[in-house]
Amino acid sequence: MQNRIPDEILLQVEKPARYTGNEINMVRKDPKNVDIRFGFCFPDVYEIGMSHLGLQILYYFLNRREDTYCERVFAPWIDLEEKMRENNIPLFSIETQQDVKQFDFLGFTLQYEMSYTNVLNMLDLAGIPLFAKDRTEKDPIVVCGGSCAYNPEPLAEFVDFFYLGEGEVLYDEILDLYKQNKNERGTKADFLEKLLKFDSIYVPKYYDVAYKENGEIASFTPNHPHAKRMLQKAVVKDMDSVYYPQKQLVPLIDVVHDRVTLELFRGCIRGCRFCQAGFVYRPVREKRAETLLEQAKKLVAASGHEEISLISLSTSDFTCFPQLANGLLEEFTKQEVSISLPSLRIDAFSLDLMEKIQEVRKSSLTFAPEAGSQRLRDVINKNLTEEDILKGCELAFLGGWTRVKLYFMIGLPTETEEDLKAIAELCERIVEKYYELPKEKRPKPVQVTASSSCFVPKPFTPFQWDAQNTFDEFLQKAKTVKKHITKKQLKYNYHDAKLSSLEGVIARGDRKIAAVLYRAWQLGCKFDGWSDLFDYDKWMQAFEDTGINTAFYANRERSYDEILPWDHISVGVSKQFLMQERQKALQEQVTPNCREQCSYCGAKCFGGGVCYE
């Protein structure tokens, strides 16, 4: 395969192998022999995109169809982009190294709001008009999915349709329909119209939005008789029978996560009130341990990876965890394959397991108390008590760990100075806990690192109506925490509030945000999630140029009767439930997890998972 980029240019850019493909298990097809060419577009660099499980699943899922060739498309890093623009080289796919403009579909996965300018930039690099209304029959159909697609409105003007939910459910039907439409000589418009039969497909052009004078949405109405008033995400009911690839793309260069990935379950029983994933992925649906062991064997054999990672939102909640862990240990220890366990709750069981499973240099253990005080942890429904944390730390210290990392959020609803002070106090108590141990159990000085990120209220959470702190408030709060941290064994880092403020605007944005995204892109914003490239001033200029007020989106509390931009979408969890959860938050009341007691959130409507256990 001839590389799309000439050697002379590849030699001058960072990590040229980002662009040349040829990985193990890459799918090779002759484009002439397929009916549908699908570009799976990841709006970030190769190393990030290749670490994304959704890409690995959908790549093989789509390619299992003989009539479809799914190829990968990544955002070129700025050094290559410059050369591409200089030499008029349009955006190309990894597999065939061909221009993506000739593809039938470009499917972008939206994992993070701050990748939206990259979506626009990739369309532009491909030579495709950015706004859906400007595109013609010759252009590919632009579809977006992924967790950020649950509030599609900021990108609505750029996208032909949004896929809401899990890809395995509807893509076959959609592609069949596309093929049929093509055979019947139907137009793109015909196809989009036919998509209206699906509950989980949102075609923005079939909906009109009217605004009140104060900027709120006055009405959101379908303008086509078949456009559904309410859309609902698509959900896989049975995780054991759903398609899962038996191989993985094995990159030839270093990427962020380069390992066999086992997906234990989807959803989370916990219901932490700040966590969008905890609501939009409901209900919890597990795979059986036998299914996972079988998948692990096949994936290791096909990839040659030296590590298996167990992925879920909260691995400790996996009901067959001991069985799975023992099975994996038995199978893979002799093969020199290690097992990594992100998202573990630290308790006696998991520490014991880590001793067995991971060839860890006892580097550091991570806790995520999220809030410093018990009061605020109750507000966010983080069911973790100070006792749990201290007990976990004590066990970890006794087990030989001397470094502890703690994650907090600042700017949570109802937060007071007391709660911020409590962050420092909790950290200090952990240090004290260490020094309460007998001297022979303390080989080294303890090191506790606390990090705080800035809370961003997200759609489909009980805090979707809440005001986000302003940039200045965040800064003030971080300083407050810092002031109270005195012990030398304690380190405190805080995240950039500018990026979080902006994320807060876009996350709950409506269609008007499109103008800002477009303007920011025009001003040169891209890779905004990369701190070295993020240009806050350009963004502020984009808001000024478009007359859009950031505070309206980020720092304003909404009333319960306001029409929210994502109200035409259901993730199963009812708005009523979210309101109830918010009221409980204000009363500092916790809600039991899904296995303790059903709280009737609404996700039972999908007919599967934990709701029927």
Partner 1 sequence: MNKEAKQIDYTKKGFTKPKEHFIYRIKFTKGEEVKFIGHLDVMRLFQRAIKRAKLPVAFSQGFNPHQLLSFASPLTLGATSQGEYGDFEMAEKIEPKIIMTKLNETLPKGIQVLDSVLITKKTQSAMAAIEGAKYMVYADKQLTESLLKENLEKYIGQKEILIMKKTKNSEKLTDIKQDIFAIENKSRQGETKIYLYLAAGSKRNLKPEPVIESLYAFLGLAFYKYAIKYHRIELLRKTQEGDMVGLSEGIGVHDLSEIEKEI
| Binding region for partner 1 (CB under 8 A) | 1, 7-12, 16-17, 20, 22-24, 250, 252-254, 300-306, 335-336, 359, 361
Positive or negative torsion for Cα 180, 239, 265, 572: positive
Answer whether 52's CB lies under 8 Å from 108's CB: no
Answer whether 117's CB lies under 8 Å from 108's CB: no
Alpha carbons 56 and 76: distance in angstroms, whole number: 19
> 3-state SS of the chain: helix, strand, coil percent to 5?
40, 15, 45
Smallest distance from partner 1 to CB 278, Å: 35
Q: CB-wise, 102 or 338, nearer to partner 1? A: 338
Q: CB-wise, 205 or 305, nearer to partner 1? A: 305
Smallest distance from partner 1 to CB 11, Å: 4
Answer whether 145's CB lies under 8 Å from 159's CB: no
Q: CB-wise, 336 or 537, nearer to partner 1? A: 336
Q: CB-wise, 247 or 288, nearer to partner 1? A: 247
Q: CB-wise, 6 or 127, nearer to partner 1? A: 6
Smallest distance from partner 1 to CB 362, Å: 11
Alpha carbons 525 and 534: distance in angstroms, whole number: 7
Smallest distance from partner 1 to CB 13, Å: 10
Residues 6+ apart with CB under 8 A from 258: 50, 51, 250, 251, 305, 307
Smallest distance from partner 1 to CB 359, Å: 6
Q: CB-wise, 32 or 361, nearer to partner 1? A: 361
Alpha carbons 158 and 13: distance in angstroms, whole number: 30
Smallest distance from partner 1 to CB 581, Å: 45
Smallest distance from partner 1 to CB 401, Å: 16
The conformational region for residue 588 under phi > 0 = left, psi -120 to 50 = alpha, else beta, is left
Answer whether 525's CB lies under 8 Å from 542's CB: yes
Please state whether beta strands 403-410 and 447-454 pair in parallel, antiparallel, or not at all (unpaired).
parallel
Q: CB-wise, 253 or 390, nearer to partner 1? A: 253
Alpha carbons 153 and 151: distance in angstroms, whole number: 6
Q: CB-wise, 253 or 579, nearer to partner 1? A: 253
Q: CB-wise, 257 or 538, nearer to partner 1? A: 257
Smallest distance from partner 1 to CB 482, Å: 37
Residue 36 phi, psi dihedral angles, 5° rounding: -125, 130
Structure tokens at 582: 């918010």
Smallest distance from partner 1 to CB 303, Å: 7
380-391: b or e for each residue (b if 16 or more CB lie within 10 Å)? Answer: bbbbbebeebee
Structure tokens at 136: 């013609």
CB-based burial label for 340 (10 Å; 0-12, 13-18, 19+): middle
Smallest distance from partner 1 to CB 101, Å: 25
Location of structure tokens 């999915």: 145
Location of structure tokens 């040659």: 304
Q: CB-wise, 94 or 239, nearer to partner 1? A: 94
